Structure 1
Amino acid sequence: MNHALFLERFQQRFSPAVASQPSPALEDPELRRLFDPCPEVQGMSSPKKLRLLNLAYGLLPPGEAWLEIGTFHGKSLIATLAGQPARPCYACDDFSQFGDHGNTLATLRANLAAHQLADRVNFFHGDFRRCLTEQHVYHPVGGYFFDGPHDYASQYDALRLVEPLLADEALVIVDDWRRADDSGSEAKAASEDWMARSTRRWRTLMELPARYNGDQAMWWNGLGVLWCSKS
């Protein structure tokens, strides 16, 4: 994926104020539904985050794939694909978290089917570490969204193991970038440690903020938007 084109389109879609400050309209649940492509699907995403994912997916060149780790009920995955030309798409979850919210493979499949997307997703049911191999992901990954476990070891592995699968240039979006007591996420620290040790070129393109975990008017719990290049 061409990261310069992504940045250009991001700036067209999100003004500096929208990117860095709360959007008051999104505080209202009824107004928020107008910006949500699948309001009936439960999820841990804000409208801005959903629009960002859809933008990134739409910029994938032919032959490059999208990969999402941590699908929950499929809200972010549905929003990513909605209205965009088909590209190879992989997703993975083991449904070991949030079981009290009905987090099951059957729920995900039903939601994808309701949005006519079931046949566009290659799904791996299991631990993400087992998914991140050429046996399961057999297109170069130009866009990678990680919303799996954000303990230090898992987040570190999420970048370390995906790196051989990435396209020559890849956009990597890491959820829960914000470190605070209400989230306990080590996403930023672990990602930056791998980026510093990797032999490839990594760069942080953007850090998109949130005021608290679950911030609907901003970026939910923060996003790290990263770029990786083989040369």
Structure 2
Amino acid sequence: MLTTSETSTFDPAQQFPSIVNQIRFHYENNIDGKSNFEFPAEEYELLASDLQIEGGIPTLPPSLQLELLNTKIGDRAAERYYRRLFFPILSMQRMSTIAVATMINAIVSQLRPDQCYLNIGVWHGFTFFSGLLNNPDKLCIGVDNFSEFTSENASSRDAFYRRFLGLKTQNHFFFESGYERVFDDFLKTKIGFYLYDGAHDYDNQLKSLLIAEPFLAKDCIIMVDDTNFQAARQATLDFLDMRKTQYRLLFDLPTPRNLYPTWWNGIMILQKLW
């Protein structure tokens, strides 16, 4: 947890959606094929100061060094805040990035008391934990039945529970269940932020939006990830077309490929208008 002195100059609850426009990358669409990455010397100094890690930056894995140095936020206080906030979970297995985590945390931080963050499909938990961190009073609900990635389900499930039990507060919950059951049996609060990261075939992607719709608060933010996949993208576009003026597309952030250290595999951000 960050100390009061570390958060006193930055209020994440005031940062979405403006934080997205402040995120920049030294190398955005030209990472593949490069064997050498050059960053200004002061960037190394700032990162070392922000993280305060023993041994300095060279002790970090090269891929993590690249992601941290490559991901910039225009507001230096915000950059320092998020680097320190996420550093304890960056070494875990994940299918997302610092940039996506920054967006998630900023959205969760501004949820109203009568709203929740619902994350369907947590895997090892990175995107779920990104919302929990430094948001002890926000209602956050994770859901997964660990049916995907079957060869490693036992390890991902165990790793998730270990970290979750160490991070959770009385306002953070997890249900090991199929996502349909959550809406039928458990969900009693309007959704202020919805992230579906389950199966990304067309039918499940569209169904995940339709089944959640009655529970979405006005102005709810919806994050759709893996939108480089044509099925996920098309299902989202068809949902928007079906609902016309009820939703707007805030951001459409593709990447050159999957596992890319900017926006991973592409994300789209929607907002419910009424």
Task: Give your verdict on TM over 0.5.
Answer: yes
The 2-side partners of 1:169 and 1:43 are apart by 28
Query: 1:148 Cα shift?
Result: 0.8
Residues 115-154 of structure 1: CA deviation (Å, up to 9, x unaligned): x216442222121122223x31111101011111100110
Question: Residue 221 of structure 1 aligns with which residue?
Answer: 265
The 2-side partners of 1:130 and 1:20 are apart by 39
C-alpha contact (below 8 Å) 1:178/1:222 kept by paired residues: yes
Query: 1:224 Cα shift?
Result: 0.6
Of residues 51, 60, 63 in structure 2, which corresponds to 1:29?
Answer: 63
Question: Residue 182 of structure 1 aligns with which residue?
Answer: none
C-alpha contact (below 8 Å) 2:132/2:172 kept by paired residues: no
Query: What SS does the aligned partner of 2:214 have?
Result: helix
Q: 1:223 to 1:19 in 2, by over 3 A?
A: farther
The 1-side partners of 2:254 and 2:146 are apart by 27
Query: 1:32 Cα shift?
Result: 5.2
Question: Residue 193 of structure 2 aligns with which residue?
Answer: 143
The 2-side partners of 1:56 and 1:18 are apart by 24
- Does residue 111 of structure 1 match 2:167? no
Question: Residue 10 of structure 1 aligns with which residue?
Answer: 20
The 1-side partners of 2:257 and 2:96 are apart by 13
C-alpha contact (below 8 Å) 1:92/1:128 kept by paired residues: yes
- Does residue 205 of structure 1 match 2:271? no
Question: Residue 83 of structure 1 aligns with which residue?
Answer: 134
Unaligned runs of 5+ in 1: 180-184
Question: Residue 120 of structure 2 aligns with which residue?
Answer: 69
Q: 1:176 to 1:18 in 2, by over 3 A?
A: farther
Kindly tell me the number of residue pairs found equivalent between the two proteins.
217
Alignment of 1:20-59 (within 5 A): 21=29, 28-31=62-65, 35=83, 36-37=86-87, 38-59=89-110
C-alpha contact (below 8 Å) 1:141/1:167 kept by paired residues: yes
Question: Residue 192 of structure 1 aligns with which residue?
Answer: 237
- Does residue 96 of structure 1 match 2:105? no
The 2-side partners of 1:63 and 1:126 are apart by 23
TM-score normalised according to structure 1 size: 0.82
Residues 61-108 of structure 1: CA deviation (Å, up to 9, x unaligned): 222110001000111111222123421111111101113234554332
Greater C-alpha Rg: 2
- Does residue 175 of structure 1 match 2:175? no
The 2-side partners of 1:199 and 1:224 are apart by 16
Query: What SS does the aligned partner of 2:96 have?
Result: coil
The 2-side partners of 1:81 and 1:19 are apart by 29
C-alpha contact (below 8 Å) 2:19/2:103 kept by paired residues: no
Query: What SS does the aligned partner of 2:248 have?
Result: strand
Query: What SS does the aligned partner of 1:162 have?
Result: helix
Unaligned runs of 5+ in 2: 1-13, 32-36, 40-60, 69-82
Query: 1:222 Cα shift?
Result: 0.4
Query: What SS does the aligned partner of 1:97 have?
Result: coil
Query: What SS does the aligned partner of 2:102 have?
Result: helix
Higher helix share: 2
| Percent sequence identity over aligned pairs | 24
C-alpha root-mean-square deviation of aligned residues, in Å?
2.7
Report the more deviating stretch, 195-204 or 162-171: 195-204
Matched to 1:139, the amino acid is T
Query: 1:177 Cα shift?
Result: 0.7
TM-score normalised according to structure 2 size: 0.70
C-alpha contact (below 8 Å) 2:136/2:169 kept by paired residues: no
